[in-house]
Amino acid sequence: MVSSMSNLLVILLVILGYLLKRLNIVRMELTDSMIRLVFYVFLPATLFYSLIQLELKTELLLLPLAGIFVASSCYAVAYLIRNPFRMEKKTEGSFLITSGMMNQGLFMYPFFLTYLGTNGLSYVAFYDIGQAFLGLTLGYYIAIKYGNRVAKAENVLKNMLGFPSLWAFSFALLVNYLGFYSSIGTIIPLIEVLHNCTTPLIMLSLGIFLEPRIKKPNAMLGVIFIRFVFAMGIAILFSLLFNLDELGRITVLIASTAPPAMLTLVYAVEEKLDVDFTSELLSICICIGLIYTPLLFALL
């Protein structure tokens, strides 16, 4: 387990990003560019670097199944409890997608990398594939439906195939399985440099993005309960049912309690859902996650 100093450095990067914004050294708009860089360049590099030498074993296949199981349960319970909150249609759409879509790449990956190294990151990447598949299909469909646009199968497929981490994951596994590591040795140093930039860029971006305000508190509390409490219960159930090994158990339990995905904000903007609710909810959940996640690593 990593020292408390390593965890402190991760948190300090978030605080630094927030202070840079408050001191008007950087603007909020910079977050969009930084997150796009991470999303399209640095995160795929980190995934590739972590997976190309991972020991592949059949137990890893349980992790994407866990991601699907937990995410689908969260979507289902959010749908079942939505009516008592008496939300507008656009807010209800945001409520549903933020309940089911999890922020692995732009939140959990740095923590897993810090605490468990590239092996732990590889495990959470396998988990992420399952929940991301649902987010890119079911989550996107929900956003379109609540945004009053016709949901077409080709649009959902295009959205899924445009996800860069999916391609990095697939290519890395192919290189690993075929034993081509030595053949790409010349580009590994470049990939490693990009990989080493991922955590600082993500945490600085989160700090710049943070703008915690409470809007529609009842609906926010509903999402917070689903993401941090209900999801943990479902993750525990899955771990017991499939008797996961230690690293698999830690991965499923912690990854399942990730804050809502940043992609939910993109969907909210594109489909004209409740952008303010989504943005402010993300900020609050990130703040909770910055405390909750290190505690889980310490306890588990």
Q: What is the CATH number of the domain that holds 60?
A: 1.20.1530.20
pLDDT above 90 covers what percent of the chain? 71
Please say if the pLDDT value at position 103 is more than 70.
Answer: yes
What number is the average pLDDT over the span 84-102?
96
- Give the mean model confidence (pLDDT) for residues 277-297: 94
Residue 180 tokens, joined: 């081509």
SS3 102: strand
Asked whether residue 6 carries a pLDDT value surpassing 80, the answer given is: no
Residues making up the chain, counted from first to last: 300
Q: What is the pTM of this model?
A: 0.91
Domain extent, residue 41, equals: 4-299
Q: At 162, is the secondary structure helix, strand, or coil?
A: coil
* Residue 1 reports pLDDT greater than 50: no
Q: What is the pLDDT of residue 289?
A: 96
CA angle 75, 265, 49 (to 5 degrees): 85
SS3 category, 211: coil
Other Cβ atoms less than 10 A from the Cβ of 150: the count is 7
Distances 299 to 102, 254, 295 between C-alpha atoms, Å: 21, 11, 6
State the average pLDDT for the chain: 91
pLDDT tens for each residue of 121-174: 999 999 999 999 999 999 999 999 998 777 677 777 887 888 888 899 999 999
Task: Please report, as a single letter, which amino acid is at residue 115.
Answer: Y
pLDDT at 242: 95
Residue-wise pLDDT tens digits, 228-273: 999 999 999 999 999 999 999 999 999 999 999 999 999 999 899 9
Least confident range of 3-12, 74-83, 283-292: 3-12
Average of per-residue pLDDT across 2-20: 81
Q: How far is CA 130 from the centre of its chain?
A: 11
- Residue scoring higher pLDDT (56 or 237): 237
pLDDT above 80 for 74:
yes
- pLDDT exceeds cutoff 50 at 192: yes
Alpha helix segments (H runs only) across the chain: 4-22, 30-37, 43-51, 62-81, 89-100, 109-134, 140-146, 153-161, 164-178, 188-209, 217-225, 231-242, 246-255, 263-270, 275-299
Total domain count for the chain? 1
Are residues 205 and 72 in contact, defined by beta-carbon separation less than 8 angstroms?
A: no
Nearest to 223 by CA among 289, 176, 172: 289
The answer to whether the CB of 210 falls within 8 A of the CB of 14 is yes
Asked if 14 and 290 touch (Cβ cutoff 8 Å), the reply is yes
Q: What is the model's pLDDT at position 151? A: 67
What is the average per-residue pLDDT within 68-88?
Answer: 96
Residue 4 has a pLDDT of 65
